[in-house]
Chain A
């Protein structure tokens, strides 16, 4: 009986953990889908969003209240970074985007350390610190909110891509860039929008994560690493794929940690990733 309730707890935690990964990953996959760029500085955008949320909290705005502001800030930041930097990378050889975004990673981490120091910063008096209990299962309110945020974000993004004009333009560019240009779509504008919206998603993720985590210069790195695996597993460019991949990764990590060993909890994740891309190189729900 104990074993069953433990299992139930682990499954619930695993799903929630997966949703938190999805929260971080969804912006990444959008950017890739539209412009074929894997933003290796994704974790650092997350870190900046977390610092921004912390800054707003110092002014008295809690993470939930500050969320829309952080989203807008990251949207603008993403557009600026695209126009000033990513666009130049796209004009070069394919490896340029890889190393350009990696350079951005190092630069942003260094800036964070220089400006904010390496101290771990947590928001004082965070809301939603309680626990929700259902039978033998206990889940943190903050994590539930983060999970809900992931679902909302996925739904919103999906609706955006499906039903809005900009979204449709993005899909067109993703499918065939040349044809999209011929049809009069402003590819640069679409790219900028995609990068901005992807960053905005990360902004939402950062704001929500501040409910549970401290921020420090390398806070985004581990989330980002898992996000890359999630996105690759689910298929680059597929929003549903990111969600599915995240849930799988979350379950594997938590269940693997308990039934295998905590020090090996990432092993099933990586093995599963390699197995899936061996059998299906474009990821679970990826196209091309």
Chain B
């Protein structure tokens, strides 16, 4: 089944990443993983970490002291995306604004803190303030509360295509008339237990343990951050002053299996993208199955932007970062394919029109 439905447009971008909080396309240069200092370990551990910052210095009035970092970043990223989109919420019916958030691990830091309180005090002595902040949906809820958004508020998770599924589900809400604007967010935060999991499972790149240059082919470097995009129906953005378009999203598929090449070719029909932007899900960039699939689909003629090494470290919630970093580094116009695959675990493909 092919989705050729009324398109939606990305009109605003905000993010909190190892590059810091930014509105619009991430201005990025070479990024080296930082040394993890949030917990002690035997030897150095490295990751693409969000530098410490005070959210209230970026978004005046923001109070995040009791929140998981993921919630705080979602608040900052959503605020920056709305600002970038030029949307004045005072002029918008806030009951018509949806929030769709994708995460793989949710609020892991406060989940760990809750477990620590259970370990220290027993299950009958846990912290009531922490408990609701452990919910995976807490970041999206805070975004609605802070901005006063009363439309659908959804948190979704897919281990491989969380970001893509969030975009497609938000687009669905817009097309089905359940909202006029959607803020789509995707991201995760690193915690000690999550990093240990990757390490114990043997998934990490040697670069996680050394400052010396190493081949990335042996694993991935974990990352953290939240990206946000504002989506609006394409036919309505011209009605709004100061609106802009980063990309128009037309057809889209996201499935857990099936013949990717056959299905994507059918979806593309006669149109041939002039660029393929690859997403990823933790696999090292050099051996990314997405790049392989892109070559199989498009041959060697069409430029391929490989998965970004930082966004690779976000597993299934890195798609928005892959997209906005590719848009920043390759200023081209025309049709493009945004592609992600996890070999036997399916694929996601979105047909974009870049202005």
Q: Do A and B bind each other?
A: no
B residues in contact (CB < 8 Å) with A: none
Which positions in A face B, CB cutoff 8 Å?
none
